[in-house]
Amino acid sequence: MHEFKYKGNYLCCEDIKVLDLTKQFGTPLYVYSYHTLIDHFVKLKIAFQEVEPLICYSVKANSTLAILKALVDKGAGLDIVSGGELSRAMKVGCPAEKIVYASVGKTDREIEEAIRRRILFFNVESLPELENINRIARGLNKIVNVAIRINPDVEPKTHKFITTGKLTNKFGIDFNSAYKIFLIRNKFSHLNICGLHIHIGSQITESTPYVAAITKMAKFIAKLKRRGIDLEYLNIGGGLGIIYDKETPQTAQKFAQNALPILKKTKLKIILEPGRFIAGNAGILVTKVLYIKSTPKKKFVIVDAGMNDLLRPALYDAYHQILPARTDNRAPITEKVDIVGPICESADFFAKDRRLSCVEEGDYLAIMGAGAYGFSMSSNYNSRRRAEEVLVIKDKVFVIRKRETHTNLTRNEIIPSFLLGL
Ligand code: LLP
């Protein structure tokens, strides 16, 4: 469910015509619906209310400050993976005791900063990392909370690039090694190993892989308990899939229905780290049709957004629905078209062999489901300025990130004096 709907011939975000936004802000333009964003957060919260989970929104999905602030104000915690994300979390006033920190490659500096800020805990992904956090904590004379990220070796049935819970993936620690860590936990004088974490992948549409992973976790928790090892937290990660195409993902309610009986038995405090589920359908990327080009083999709709703005189709061959900002009675295009950007790569496409109705040069198209891993994965490739972002709430619109300028792009660059003939 989302708040991007046609009213008459016009695609609207909440109560504003997308077409009006293009006139005001230009394109490429990210448009977010405040209510969709918050609704998804609340849906998950309600679905899991029996266990009163801490929902740590996964910052990587969309890390724009206004998006984070909107969620933090509603009580969300944050799941972070870098010093940069920690700094964003602090900027929007997220309470430190609601921040969890994953990543297989945390640097000393990042670890130190997160300890100083007193985050809730680190999700630790290897034994060397555990030793390192202990060493840094000792140096700072602090006892630090950590959760062990388990790699439960389950198949999440999603794209291989976003599968994270198989033993061939770099993430987490297998059960046996984790058990051994718990047995020598006293060696880590400055750590409080207080929880377990999993994140088995992203865009998971079925509950079976989750149930399998959580069941394995519950067994492991029971095994630890039998050895007198008590924990406080179980973090079940993110990964909930959304509708991009014809998927029929489990609803939050269904997911909760399947997971809750197992979670409740553990008697631990439950943490969730959803990213896409909250932000994915809350944003679209709006782009202008520059040219329509026919070749002997293909018809290309060339738009002003590129893979630098939205990388998902190029990287994962991801499907995004594409809708016209205005529909009217023009003849529908009957042949299939490729919708492509201006970048010098053949991977720079948004759709292949797609039937699109009503498209002419100068039209505007909305690439749907671009709220998560859209702007946050964007780049300046081809020296393109990153897009403007606006947030719509009912009939009001707010710029939440200005379009970059060419000066922005070169501001950190230095031409050495010898090249300047000095
Ligand atoms: N927790 C951890 C430890 C994660 O690594 C991730 C995502 C999440 C939570 C949030 O997952 P979500 O609920 O959003 O599925 N760029 C890819 C997705 C990469 C996901 C990386 N980790 C895409 O565009 O599909």
The pTM for the full model equals 0.97
Q: Judge whether 195 and 128 are in contact, CB under 8 Å.
A: no
Distance from C-alpha of 136 to C-alpha of 139, rounded to nearest angstrom:
5
Distance 59 CA to ligand 1 centre (A): 9
Sign of the alpha-carbon dihedral angle for 43, 45, 51, 54: positive
Residue identifier of the C-alpha nearest atom 16 of ligand 1: 373
The count of C-alpha atoms lying within 13 angstroms of the C-alpha of 407, restricted to the half-sphere facing its C-beta, is 0
The β-bridge relationship of strands 77-80 and 29-33 is unpaired
What confidence tier does 331 reach under pLDDT thresholds 50, 70, 90? low
What confidence tier does 43 reach under pLDDT thresholds 50, 70, 90? very high
Q: Of the residues 13, 94, 194, 344, which is catalytic? A: 344
Can you give the pLDDT at residue 250? Answer: 86
Mean pLDDT of 206-226: 95
Say whether pLDDT at 329 is over 70: no
Mean pLDDT of 362-385: 98
Can you give the pLDDT at residue 164? Answer: 81
Task: Work out the mean pLDDT of the chain and round it to a whole number.
Answer: 95
Residue identifier of the C-alpha nearest atom 19 of ligand 1: 162
What confidence tens digit (pLDDT) does each residue in 182-209 have? 999 999 999 999 999 999 999 999 889 9
Mean pLDDT of 76-89: 98
Q: Name the residue of 149, 199, 278, 309 whose CB sits within 8 Å of the most ligand 1 atoms, as the mutation to test its pocket.
A: 199
Say whether pLDDT at 332 is over 70: no
Say whether pLDDT at 380 is over 90: yes
3-state secondary structure of 420: helix
Distance from C-alpha of 87 to C-alpha of 72, rounded to nearest angstrom:
14
Mean pLDDT of 325-341: 83
Can you give the pLDDT at residue 11? Answer: 97
Mean pLDDT of 277-291: 98
344 is catalytic: yes
Task: Give one DSSP letter per residue of 63-103, joined into a string.
Answer: --HHHHHHHHHTT-EEEE-SHHHHHHHHHTT--GGGEEE--
Say whether pLDDT at 242 is over 70: yes
Distance 265 CA to ligand 1 centre (A): 27
Residue 388: name the closest of 140, 25, 24, 12 by CA: 25
Residue identifier of the C-alpha nearest atom 7 of ligand 1: 202
Sequence-separated (6 or more) residues with CB below 8 Å from residue 207: 250, 254, 255, 258, 259
Residue 403: name the closest of 21, 9, 97, 105 by CA: 21
Domains and CATH numbers, the chain: 4-31+280-410 (2.40.37.10), 63-274 (3.20.20.10)
Can you give the pLDDT at residue 91? Answer: 98
Say whether pLDDT at 246 is over 90: no
Exposure of 148 by Cβ count < 10 A (0-12 exposed, 13-18 middle, 19+ buried)?
buried
Say whether pLDDT at 315 is over 80: yes
